Structure 1
Amino acid sequence: MQLWEIIKRTFEFNPNLDQEGFVLKETPDEKAELNQHPTDNQSAGEDKSTGRRSGIKKPVRAAERQKQHRAGKEEEKGADSGKGGRLRKQIRSVRRHQDDQGKQQAADKAQLQKKDNNEEKESDKSRKRFKKPLRVAEIQNQQDREQVSPYLENNKKRLEEIYGLPQNKDFIIREFTIAVAPPVRAFVLFMEGLSDKTAINTYVLQPMMLFSNFHEDVEGYLLDHIQKRVLIGNQVTVHDRFEQIVAGVNYGSTAVFIEGCDKALLVETKGWEHRSVDRPVNEQVIRGAQEAFGETLRTNTALVRKLLRTSELTTEMLKIGNTTHLDVAIMYIRTVANKQLVQEVKRRIESLKVDGVIDSGILEQLIEERPWNIAPQVTATERPDRVAYALLRGKVAIFLDSNPYVLVVPSTMFDQLHTQEDYYLRPLYGSFLRLVRTLAFYISFLLPGFYLAIVLFHKEMIPTELLLAISGARERVPFPSFVEVIIMEISFELIREAGLRVPGAMGNTIGIVGALILGQAAVQANIVSPILVIIVAVTGLASFAVPNYSLQFGLRITRFAYIALGTILGFVGIVFGLFIQMHMMASLKSFGVPYLSPMAPTTGTTGDVLFRKPVFDWERRPDFLNTQKDQLQENIAQGWVRESNKKGDKHH
């Protein structure tokens, strides 16, 4: 029975002899038989010419090799014991091989399981780098609203909230399809009126809708492909925040949003209407450049760079106004201007917390130290040549977008009285003009008060004949001298303001006719005396001779104060007023520079205060500016003079 069970188990078991790694030890008789009759497998798997096997078998482990060796020895010993013994030995060998094979499979399975676990861990680490795409319904709750979304509909919805679309008709959203394979949806956003529609059609829509399929393959990401190989604009930037995109669109650029891209492209398409470069209106000169600043910031900076063609000229851009977001440009010569001055200008502008600054006059009041002082502390000019010369001397210019006036800091009282024409004329001519303006400066605020002080308190200072003439002219005037002066000054201010506000040539007509007719009628009606009409007219002309408009206003207000002081205290009041005024100006500073420099305090002068030196003596920059380079030009700027001197020395 035991033999029958063994035979039965043998016939029930069907081993896979083709399994890799299975080796069955042959007996000597079987080896001889195999040598006489080779099997098909042996002939197919072995090359007779080379003796090499065509296939590569899995190497047998050392433990298997020892077991097979022991099994082979037992088979050789029992080869003569009969057919049944050999069968039993074969069965035991097969069982041992099965056990070894099972162990090997378990070991291989454990190794594969360990490898799979390691791969899963690595895949989990790699998955952590990439976020799972959000659904459209979840994007608003899980993503920053100020971040550009990869979903086109969410970007469009966010822009509609920002600009109040579709009620707001200034902003246009144009949807289209980019001609790539496969097609991709996109849309552009621009402001009508500030953007150039021709540039949008030519440089933005046409390349993406028609020419983007010229390249069969998209290189890299779609956004980079559109930026580098499709759009042909000269300025294309990538932004991922709505704050940056909105700022660009509000300034005339066009924003491009693409489906599947979490960033947007901002294309330069500015094209608003603007005034061309025109002649100066309030700073006219006979000899000099006839160009004036306009309302375009880049045009204004280009006018200055046209005069100062150096790489050292630096322009820094700042933003001002929480609502307006206007650009402010700070221009200076990098190797000349005082670094502390530049930092102070930037600090004051960056520290402003206002909703908007519309005009440079508002910016001037926000950055000057004492806005309640009667004297202006910043020079405002519309002439590019004046700004260029100020930069050469070491000052800083402030440009405000959409404004034709440029601010120059620091500013002194003498800068307010100078014009650019003083430098273009010969030194004697320029010095004479400055003397005339200085005289007009004092006449414009002192003459009416001086007249009242003499008439009311110091009649002995007037010659007898003139005193009799004044008394005879005032004999039929019913008003005191103070009331008479006030009436004429107020009338003159009304005529001046009316002439400015009435448009066109009518304003000049009102100014001339009003002064002549009202003055003549007032004299004939015995309301004012003829001598007072002359004094008021001369005072008004003197105020017009002051070149700075802000300084004119200060002198007009100061004039009424001196009229009151002259009426109350005479010359004592006028002297007291001068003392107070000089004290206020001496204590005033403009960005750290004393207002009366270089006279008070006394510093090294360049000969450019009251009188003007010849141009070949402009050797130094102003000492009170503390510039990085003190020398403006060579000691002997005229090279031909130096050569002539050398030739003269040789002859001697």
Structure 2
Amino acid sequence: MLKEMFSLFNKQQKKSPPSAEKLAGDRADLKEKSFSNSLQENLSTIKQLYCIPDNKDIKLRELYLEGFNREAALIFISTITDVKSLEENILKPLTENTASNKKVKDIVSIQMVQEITLFKDAVKNINKGHALLILDGEAKGYLMDCPDFQSRAIEKPDNEILIKGPKEAFNEKAVANISLLRKKIRNENLMVETVEVSQRSHNDVYMLYIRGLANEKLIDNIKKRLGSLETNAIQNLPLLEEYIEERSYSLFPSILTTERPDRAASFIEDGYIVLLMDNSPDGLVLPATFWSFFHSPEDHYLRIHYGNFTRALRMVALFITIFTSAIYVAITTFHAEMIPPDLLLAIASTREKVPFPAVIEILIMEAAFELIREAGLRVPSPIGPTIGIVGALILGQAAVEANIISPIVIIVVALGGLSSFAVSDLSLNFAVRLIRFAFILSAAMFGIYGMTAFFVAGLFYMVSLKSFGVPYLAPLSPSYKSSKDTIFRRLVKNEKLRPGFLRPADLQKKTDGT
């Protein structure tokens, strides 16, 4: 009985379908094959690679070309190929041609015709929206450039909103984003290079920089880091950012994200490198310093006094966000002598019936504020403002009347929370919000001395940070030759130097188009 069961099991194992690993290995072997002179053999390989006819958006068109007196086949993916262009510029000229001495590239009216001999090149380009033409009797294929990926139109920025300045924003199509940058940088030295960063999905990253201006060592460093990635898929830039940043666990961001073409163009003209990808409505600026996150694109569009005034407000708001709640906890817990007597009595009277210490009050309200902020972002837009009003007014007032929270705590937390909105960059905003909780805990344990020690340690840490070899607080620390665009900026006509910490090939800004 046992022998019969074992024999039956072995027969089933032999009849079982091949494993996924074996299928993947077989397809990898097929990709390495070269085209043969037999059209049917080439089509058989294509059908195996794309699972035709099961894969419904893969179109295979077999036809007879009278001019060449031979059979041919056209393969393309209908959902990402411009079918109208394919019919008018490829199929129609090929079928109407009667001359036998012409070549394919002389007949079709398409932007690019590329000859290939390997199936892996065919698959890679078909997946990018190109069409593949195969002729019987020729051991090669012809790639036709006719991609048509669907995407949004050029719209206004959602996050980096400006009152004065351009209103265009990147979308999810890298070709459109490159076009927006080339519209602003009309320079033959603007380089657009591609690096493939995933082994299975074959996602391309576009590197944009100005040749002869950007530092060659920096370019090679970024290319090496991108080329060394070993992963199946990286679909967009936020995922890529985690792979290439130097300190993944650092609170402070080291790569700047922007959705504005004008801002990306200004960085490129200063010697920075910008990365773009399909499926990402933004670009990555490399390297990035703290000041890059602190600045707003509108600072240079406003007149110098207006721009510097907004920067001063932003810096004050940054310190208010980080320190207000922590200072309240430190003073009420350890340093009551620092408060004027009248104010001390007022605070004591409001906290008379509150059962919690000051740090618990602050943490409760800070957590409630973060919850309200998150809820306002995630719910549908018409409901978001309503949630903010209900959470801030009703819950806050109810908490005070229930003697859970004192009124001054609501004032302190609201001031810090509102000030945090002045930090426009999303990554820096998250860092500031998290650091605020660390300062509250340090103030609760050691008072002003704990806050001071934590602040000094934070400065030491920021000085140690680097973004692709560039010090995080440059050009303030260490000092480099530059236009000193840190907290305050100069007149645009007086900003004559590019950032020295980038080590650009040309430090002096010129007006001759170089």
Query: What is the TM-score with the length of structure 1 in the denominator?
Result: 0.72
For the 8 Å contact 1:322–1:355, the answer to whether it is kept is yes
Matches within 5 A, 1:467-546: 467-546=344-423
Partner secondary structure for residue 545 of structure 1: coil
For the 8 Å contact 1:380–1:407, the answer to whether it is kept is yes
**Runs of 4 or more consecutive aligned structure 1 residues displaced over 3 Å after TM superposition:** 142-145
Matches within 5 A, 1:25-40: none
Give the percent of matched residue pairs that are identical in Structure 1 and Structure 2: 38
Partner secondary structure for residue 383 of structure 2: helix
- Give the deviation of 1:335 after TM superposition: 2.0
- Give the deviation of 1:160 after TM superposition: 1.9
Matches within 5 A, 1:593-604: 593-604=470-481
Q: Distance in 1 between matches of 2:32 and 2:441?
A: 64
Letter in 1 for 2:85: A
| 1:381 equivalent among 238, 252, 258 | 258
Partner secondary structure for residue 398 of structure 1: strand
For the 8 Å contact 2:30–2:45, the answer to whether it is kept is no
Q: Distance in 1 between matches of 2:318 and 2:168?
A: 27
* Counterpart check, 1:198 vs 2:81: no
- Give the deviation of 1:167 after TM superposition: 2.1
Q: Which residue of 2 aligns with 1:218?
A: 101
> Once the two structures are superposed, what CA deviation does each residue of 1:425-447 show, in whole Å capped at 9, x if it has no partner?
11111111111111111222222
Q: Which residue of 2 aligns with 1:28?
A: none
> Once the two structures are superposed, what CA deviation does each residue of 1:518-559 show, in whole Å capped at 9, x if it has no partner?
112211222111111111111111111101100111111111
Q: 1:431 to 1:181 in 2, by over 3 A?
A: closer
Q: Distance in 1 between matches of 2:32 and 2:478?
A: 57
Partner secondary structure for residue 331 of structure 1: strand
Gaps of 5+ in 2: 1-26
Q: Which residue of 2 aligns with 1:424?
A: 301
More helix by share: 1
Q: Distance in 2 between matches of 1:498 and 1:171?
A: 43
Partner secondary structure for residue 505 of structure 1: coil
- Give the deviation of 1:145 after TM superposition: 5.4
Q: Which residue of 2 aligns with 1:455?
A: 332
* Counterpart check, 1:171 vs 2:54: no
Q: Distance in 1 between matches of 2:376 and 2:279?
A: 26
For the 8 Å contact 2:31–2:119, the answer to whether it is kept is no
Q: Which residue of 1 aligns with 2:443?
A: 566
- Give the deviation of 1:187 after TM superposition: 1.4
* Counterpart check, 1:304 vs 2:181: yes
| 2:469 equivalent among 570, 574, 592 | 592
Q: Which residue of 2 aligns with 1:75?
A: none
Q: Distance in 1 between matches of 2:68 and 2:505?
A: 60
Q: Distance in 1 between matches of 2:39 and 2:385?
A: 60
For the 8 Å contact 1:606–1:619, the answer to whether it is kept is yes
- Tell me how many residue pairs correspond in the alignment: 485
Partner secondary structure for residue 324 of structure 2: helix
| 2:506 equivalent among 629, 637, 642 | 629
Query: What is the TM-score with the length of structure 2 in the denominator?
Result: 0.91
Q: Distance in 1 between matches of 2:77 and 2:263?
A: 36
> Once the two structures are superposed, what CA deviation does each residue of 1:163-191 show, in whole Å capped at 9, x if it has no partner?
22222223121222112263x21211111
The farther-off stretch of 617-626 and 406-415 is 617-626
Letter in 2 for 1:422: D
> Once the two structures are superposed, what CA deviation does each residue of 1:26-58 show, in whole Å capped at 9, x if it has no partner?
xxxxxxxxxxxxxxxxxxxxxxxxxxxxxxxxx
- Give the deviation of 1:512 after TM superposition: 2.6
Letter in 2 for 1:539: G
Q: Which residue of 1 aligns with 2:10?
A: none
Q: Distance in 2 between matches of 1:201 and 1:173?
A: 14
Letter in 2 for 1:626: R
Q: Which residue of 1 aligns with 2:42?
A: 155
Q: Distance in 2 between matches of 1:584 and 1:361?
A: 24
| 1:186 equivalent among 62, 72, 75 | 72
- Give the deviation of 1:143 after TM superposition: 10
Whose radius of gyration is greater, 1 or 2? Answer: 1
Q: Distance in 1 between matches of 2:31 and 2:346?
A: 85
* Counterpart check, 1:554 vs 2:431: yes
Letter in 2 for 1:593: V
For the 8 Å contact 2:475–2:484, the answer to whether it is kept is no
For the 8 Å contact 1:303–1:384, the answer to whether it is kept is yes
Q: Which one scores higher on RCO, CA 8 angstroms, separation ≥ 6?
A: 2
Q: Which residue of 2 aligns with 1:367?
A: 244
For the 8 Å contact 1:448–1:536, the answer to whether it is kept is yes
> Once the two structures are superposed, what CA deviation does each residue of 1:75-110 show, in whole Å capped at 9, x if it has no partner?
xxxxxxxxxxxxxxxxxxxxxxxxxxxxxxxxxxxx
For the 8 Å contact 2:32–2:120, the answer to whether it is kept is no
Letter in 1 for 2:425: N
- Give the deviation of 1:350 after TM superposition: 1.1
Q: Which residue of 2 aligns with 1:131?
A: none
For the 8 Å contact 2:481–2:497, the answer to whether it is kept is no
Letter in 1 for 2:226: I
Partner secondary structure for residue 97 of structure 2: helix
Q: Distance in 1 between matches of 2:206 and 2:32?
A: 31
Q: Distance in 1 between matches of 2:31 and 2:402?
A: 78
- Give the deviation of 1:484 after TM superposition: 1.3
For the 8 Å contact 1:620–1:633, the answer to whether it is kept is no
Q: Distance in 2 between matches of 1:181 and 1:451?
A: 86
For the 8 Å contact 2:196–2:202, the answer to whether it is kept is yes
Q: 1:181 to 1:387 in 2, by over 3 A?
A: closer
Partner secondary structure for residue 147 of structure 1: coil
Q: Distance in 2 between matches of 1:306 and 1:526?
A: 60
For the 8 Å contact 1:240–1:262, the answer to whether it is kept is yes
Q: Which residue of 1 aligns with 2:323?
A: 446
| 1:285 equivalent among 162, 168, 171 | 162
Q: Which residue of 2 aligns with 1:222?
A: none
Gaps of 5+ in 1: 1-139, 220-224, 638-652
Q: Distance in 2 between matches of 1:549 and 1:259?
A: 56
For the 8 Å contact 1:618–1:633, the answer to whether it is kept is no
Partner secondary structure for residue 421 of structure 2: helix
